[in-house]
Structure 1
Amino acid sequence: MGKAAAPCSGSGGIASILSAVPCLSCKPQSDVDGTMSEQGKGSASSTAGAPAPGSDTYKGWLFKWTNYLKGYQRRWFVLSNGLLSYYRTQAEMAHTCRGTINLATAHIDTEDACNIVLSSGGRTYHLKASSEVERQRWVTALELAKAKAIRMMHDQSDDSGDEEPTSQSDRSEIQGTLKTLASKLDDLSTCNDLIAKHGAALQRSLSELEGLRVPLEGGEKIKAVNERATLFRITSNAMINACRDFLDLAETHSRRWQRALQHEREQRIRLEETIEQLAKQHNSLERAWREAPVLSASTPTAPAPEKAGSERPQKGEASDEDEDTEYFDAMEDSPAFITVTATDHTQHRRSVSNLSGASGGQPNDWHQDDNVSPTCNDLSSGKELQLRRRRRTRIPDKPNYSLNLWSIMKNCIGKELSKIPMPVNFNEPLSMLQRLTEDLEYHELLDKAARCESSLEQLCYVAAFSVSSYSTTVHRTAKPFNPLLGETYELDRMDEYGYRSLCEQVSHHPPAAAHHVLSRRGWTLWQEITIASKFRGKYLSIMPLGAIHLQFHSTGNHYVWRKVTSTVHNIIVGKLWIDQSGDIDIVNHRTKETCQLKFSPYSYFSRDVPRKVTGVVTDSEGQAHYILSGTWDDKIESSKIVQSSRGGSGSEGKQKTVYQTLSPKLLWKKYPLPENAENMYFFSSLALTLNELEEGVGPTDSRLRPDQRLMEAGRWDEANVEKQRLEEKQRAVRRRREAEAAEALEEGREYEGYQPLWFHKRMDAVTGESSFVYKGGYWETKEKHDWSMCPQIF
Structure 2
Amino acid sequence: MEGLLCKWTNVMKGWQYRWFILDDNAGLLSYYTSKDKMKRGARRGCVRLRDAIIGIDDEDDSTFTITVDQKVFHFQAKDAEERKEWASALEDTILRHSQRQVEPCFTPSLEEFDHKLAEADAYLQLLIEHVRAIESKVGKLGSSSDKQNLEGILSSGQEMIEAVTKSIMLLQLAKTAVTSNSPQHNIHSHLVQQTPVAPVTAPHATTTEGGDNVGGVKSFVELEDVPPTSYSSSEDEGDEFYDADEDVRSQRSNRSKSSVENRSVEQKTATTPSVDQDPVDDLAEVKPEAQEINVAAPTHQHGGESVEEHKSVIMHLLSQVKLGMDLTKVVLPTFILERRSLLEMYADFFAHPDLFLEVADKETAEARMVACLRFYLSTFAAGRNSSVAKKPYNPILGESFQCIYDLSSQATDGENPTTVTDGPIPWAKSNQLSFFSEQVSHHPPVSAFYAEHKDKRMQFNGHIWTKSKFLGLSIGVHNIGQGCLRLLDREEEYIINFPNGYGRSILTIPWVELGGDCTITCEKTGYNSFIKFHTKPFYGGKPHRITAEIFAPNEKKAFCTIDGEWNDHMYIKYTSGRNESFIDTKRKKKTQKTVRKIELQDEMESRRLWEKVTINLKRNNIDEATDGKRFLEDRQRQEAKQRLESGTVYKPKLFQEDDCQNWIYNNPLTNRL
What is the CA-CA distance between 1:694 and the residue it aligns to? 5.0
Please give the per-residue CA displacement for 1:268-302, whole angstroms capped at 9, x wherever unaligned: xxxxxx9xxx9x99xx999979974536989xxxx
Structure-to-structure mapping, 1:417-566, within 5 angstroms: 417-471=327-381, 472-473=383-384, 475-494=387-406, 496=408, 498-520=432-454, 521-566=456-501
Distance in 1 (alpha carbons) for counterparts of 2:316 and 2:228: 32
Distance in 2 (alpha carbons) for counterparts of 1:610 and 1:397: 20
Q: In the alignment, which of 649, 656, 661 is matched to residue 760 of structure 1?
A: 656
Distance in 2 (alpha carbons) for counterparts of 1:463 and 1:423: 36
What is the CA-CA distance between 1:483 and the residue it aligns to? 0.6
CA RMSD, Structure 1 to Structure 2 (Å): 4.6
Distance in 1 (alpha carbons) for counterparts of 2:353 and 2:588: 17
Q: In the alignment, which of 663, 668, 674 is matched to residue 579 of structure 2?
A: 663
Report % sequence identity.
17
Question: Residue type matched to 1:403 in 2?
Answer: H
Structure-to-structure mapping, 1:277-356, within 5 angstroms: 292-294=263-265
CA contact (8 A) 2:405 2:591 kept: no
Q: Which moved more, 1:427-436 or 1:398-407?
A: 398-407
Please give the per-residue CA displacement for 1:719-751, whole angstroms capped at 9, x wherever unaligned: 21111111111111111111112xxxxxxxxx5
CA contact (8 A) 1:85 1:101 kept: no
1:261 aligns with 2:171: no
Compute the TM-score of the two structures, normalised by the length of structure 1. 0.45
What is the CA-CA distance between 1:522 and the residue it aligns to? 3.5
Question: Residue type matched to 2:445 in 1?
Answer: P
CA contact (8 A) 2:19 2:35 kept: yes
Distance in 2 (alpha carbons) for counterparts of 1:549 and 1:264: 63
Please give the per-residue CA displacement for 1:213-234, whole angstroms capped at 9, x wherever unaligned: xxxxxxxxxxxxxxxxxxxxxx
CA contact (8 A) 1:548 1:562 kept: yes
What is the CA-CA distance between 1:58 and the residue it aligns to? 1.9
CA contact (8 A) 2:613 2:624 kept: no
CA contact (8 A) 2:340 2:392 kept: yes
1:708 aligns with 2:613: yes
What is the CA-CA distance between 1:431 and the residue it aligns to? 0.5
1:693 aligns with 2:589: no
Distance in 2 (alpha carbons) for counterparts of 1:775 and 1:264: 73
Cα gap change, 1:100 to 1:614, in 2 (>3 Å): closer
Question: Residue type matched to 1:709 in 2?
Answer: T
Distance in 2 (alpha carbons) for counterparts of 1:265 and 1:711: 62
Distance in 2 (alpha carbons) for counterparts of 1:537 and 1:96: 30
Question: Residue type matched to 1:774 in 2?
Answer: Y
Question: Residue type matched to 1:758 in 2?
Answer: L
Distance in 2 (alpha carbons) for counterparts of 1:467 and 1:481: 24
Question: Residue type matched to 2:608 in 1?
Answer: L
Distance in 1 (alpha carbons) for counterparts of 2:488 and 2:31: 55
CA contact (8 A) 2:501 2:512 kept: yes
1:77 aligns with 2:15: yes
Structure-to-structure mapping, 1:227-266, within 5 angstroms: 261-262=224-225
Distance in 2 (alpha carbons) for counterparts of 1:621 and 1:700: 48
Cα gap change, 1:415 to 1:489, in 2 (>3 Å): same
Question: Residue type matched to 1:548 in 2?
Answer: G
What is the CA-CA distance between 1:567 and the residue it aligns to? 1.2
Q: In the alignment, which of 321, 325, 328 is matched to residue 412 of structure 1?
A: 321
Cα gap change, 1:98 to 1:617, in 2 (>3 Å): farther
Cα gap change, 1:285 to 1:727, in 2 (>3 Å): farther
**1:641 matched residue in structure 2:** 575
Distance in 1 (alpha carbons) for counterparts of 2:316 and 2:261: 33
Structure-to-structure mapping, 1:208-223, within 5 angstroms: none
**1:577 matched residue in structure 2:** 511
Distance in 2 (alpha carbons) for counterparts of 1:264 and 1:690: 69
**2:128 matched residue in structure 1:** none
**2:10 matched residue in structure 1:** 58
Question: Residue type matched to 2:476 in 1?
Answer: S
What is the CA-CA distance between 1:415 and the residue it aligns to? 3.5
Cα gap change, 1:392 to 1:546, in 2 (>3 Å): closer
Cα gap change, 1:393 to 1:59, in 2 (>3 Å): farther
Distance in 2 (alpha carbons) for counterparts of 1:465 and 1:393: 21
CA contact (8 A) 1:588 1:594 kept: yes
The unaligned stretches of length 5 or more in structure 2 are 1-5, 21-28, 41-96, 100-220, 231-243, 270-284, 409-430
**2:78 matched residue in structure 1:** none
CA contact (8 A) 2:434 2:453 kept: yes
Distance in 1 (alpha carbons) for counterparts of 2:518 and 2:229: 42
Distance in 2 (alpha carbons) for counterparts of 1:265 and 1:459: 64
Cα gap change, 1:516 to 1:77, in 2 (>3 Å): same
What is the CA-CA distance between 1:495 and the residue it aligns to? 5.7
What is the CA-CA distance between 1:535 and the residue it aligns to? 1.0
Question: Residue type matched to 1:701 in 2?
Answer: E
Describe the SS at the equivalent of 1:599: strand
Structure-to-structure mapping, 1:593-632, within 5 angstroms: 593-606=527-540, 608-622=541-555, 623-632=557-566
Larger Rg: 1
Describe the SS at the equivalent of 1:409: helix
Cα gap change, 1:738 to 1:611, in 2 (>3 Å): same
Q: In the alignment, which of 618, 627, 632 is matched to residue 721 of structure 1?
A: 627
Distance in 1 (alpha carbons) for counterparts of 2:633 and 2:228: 52
Describe the SS at the equivalent of 2:640: helix
Q: In the alignment, which of 520, 523, 527 is matched to residue 586 of structure 1?
A: 520
Distance in 2 (alpha carbons) for counterparts of 1:467 and 1:633: 9
CA contact (8 A) 1:396 1:712 kept: no
Cα gap change, 1:569 to 1:86, in 2 (>3 Å): closer
The unaligned stretches of length 5 or more in structure 1 are 1-47, 52-56, 63-75, 79-83, 88-93, 106-166, 170-257, 268-273, 299-384, 643-660, 675-683, 742-750, 764-768, 779-794
Compute the TM-score of the two structures, normalised by the length of structure 2. 0.52
Cα gap change, 1:386 to 1:99, in 2 (>3 Å): farther
Structure-to-structure mapping, 1:21-100, within 5 angstroms: 57-58=9-10, 77-78=15-16, 85=18
Structure-to-structure mapping, 1:56-205, within 5 angstroms: 57-58=9-10, 77-78=15-16, 85=18
CA contact (8 A) 1:434 1:489 kept: yes
Describe the SS at the equivalent of 1:538: coil
CA contact (8 A) 1:430 1:691 kept: no
Describe the SS at the equivalent of 1:406: helix
Distance in 2 (alpha carbons) for counterparts of 1:754 and 1:266: 74
Question: Residue type matched to 2:224 in 1?
Answer: L
Cα gap change, 1:538 to 1:450, in 2 (>3 Å): same
Number of matched pairs: 406
Cα gap change, 1:566 to 1:410, in 2 (>3 Å): same
What is the CA-CA distance between 1:510 and the residue it aligns to? 0.9
